[in-house]
Amino acid sequence: MTDDHSTDTADPGTAEKDPADWTTGDEPMTGPQRSYLETLLQQAGEDAPDDLEQLSKSEASRRIDALQEQTGRGQ
């Protein structure tokens, strides 16, 4: 996967990693992820899914990314 915005001098601490590649991606989502996800769901006019509590960190991150794009937040 290439990033058109990357440079040779990019700070490695700011590099984004695919949530599927996170070593802790299978752990339950964090409290801040849940809170932000609930906010985004509300702004998108969607109900929280029944399995919201079961989302992993990586699943929550992907859902947040999709909702940010849908709602125009996080740009």
Specify the pLDDT at position 6.
Answer: 42
Other CB atoms within 10 A of residue 65 CB: 13
pLDDT at 13 over 90: no
Q: What's the mean pLDDT when you consider all of the chain?
A: 81
Helix-helix angle 57-71:31-43, to 10 degrees: 30
Backbone angles phi, psi at 43, to 5 degrees: -65, -30
> What's the Rg (C-alpha) of the chain?
14
pLDDT for the residue numbered 46: 93
Predicted TM-score (pTM) of the model is 0.70
Rounded to whole angstroms, how far apart are CA atoms 74 and 67?
9
